[in-house]
Chains A and B, each alone.
Chain A
Amino acid sequence: QVQLVESGGGVVQPGRSLKLSCVASGFTFKNYGMHWVRQAPGRGLEWVAVISFDGNKEYYLDSMKGRFAISRDNSKNTIYLEMNSLRVEDTAVYYCAKDRGHCSGGTCYSVGIWDSWGQGALVTVSS
């Protein structure tokens, strides 16, 4: 079965950096777009970023552009989220999620529907 396991969360001071990882198993990782979605304590869900199946395309929520970077290593079935210039308001549980996309004609498409999620990594930004 699909399994996504995040790591790298913790407590960090404002302005500092942190890098999250998510290791995937149970599916053909290189065929799917992968996302990060976050949830601040007691709040709703917020999409953060997506990376295409081959790592060639990345998209971000505007408030993360220039501060966050998503990447992937298909040889390790792993995606990453590098977070820089962290702010107190970035405090949240960060989930990695698998896109429910499909492949056709040699290209795989992300559809922004998430059919598998990790357990989440808590990032706390505090002085």
Chain B
Amino acid sequence: DIQMTQSPSTLSASVGDRVAISCRANQSIGTWLAWYQQKPGKAPNLLIYRASTLQNGVPSRFSGSGSGTEFTLTIITLQPDDFATYYCQQCHSRPWTFGQGTKVEIK
């Protein structure tokens, strides 16, 4: 199984900050990577797929980059609605697997 590792586990930031979350795969997955946002008590929401393609309706302050084994989710100008937990997920091969999550909290 492909293992996904995110860093940091928790990130403290302020409204207006630029934040970056890293995700690493233990083998090359090309650009078969997705990012999800999850708020407490809610289902995850797809933000980005194929490493850098923004899902319809997702604000342009979200962006994704990377290929192979190293990926980054960047949020420019953090908004109050962005405080949540973010998961990366490899969609290269079954079983599809997630990172452990990064919680973005208010500083």
A residues whose Cβ falls under 8 Å from a Cβ of B: 44-47, 50, 59, 61-62, 95, 100, 111-115, 117-120
B45 & A100 in contact (Cβ 8 Å cutoff): no
A-B contact pairs, 10 of them (CB 8 A): A44-B101, A45-B36, A59-B95, A100-B46, A112-B32, A112-B96, A113-B34, A113-B49, A114-B34, A115-B55
Nearest opposing residue in chain A for B49, CB measure = A113
B46 & A113 in contact (Cβ 8 Å cutoff): yes
Asked whether B100 is an interface residue with its Cβ less than 8 Å from the other chain, the reply is: yes
B43 & A95 in contact (Cβ 8 Å cutoff): yes
Q: Mark B93-107, 1 if CB is under 8 A from A, else 0.
A: 011111111000000
Taking CB atoms, residues of chain A closer than 8 Å to B87 are: 44-45
CB distance from B70 to the nearest CB of A (A): 20
A44 & B45 in contact (Cβ 8 Å cutoff): no
A114 & B95 in contact (Cβ 8 Å cutoff): no
6 other contacts beyond A47-B98, A50-B94, A100-B46, with CB at 8 A cut-off? A44-B100, A45-B98, A59-B95, A113-B46, A113-B89, A117-B44
Bound complex: CA of A111 vs CA of B96, how far in Å?
10
Bound complex: CA of A111 vs CA of B92, how far in Å?
8
CB within 8 Å for A47 and B96 given contacts A111-B91, A113-B91, A115-B55: yes
A61 & B98 in contact (Cβ 8 Å cutoff): no
Nearest opposing residue in chain B for A50, CB measure = B94
Taking CB atoms, residues of chain A closer than 8 Å to B94 are: 50, 59, 112
CB within 8 Å for A100 and B98 given contacts A111-B91, A113-B91, A118-B43: no
Nearest opposing residue in chain A for B45, CB measure = A117
Taking CB atoms, residues of chain A closer than 8 Å to B99 are: 44
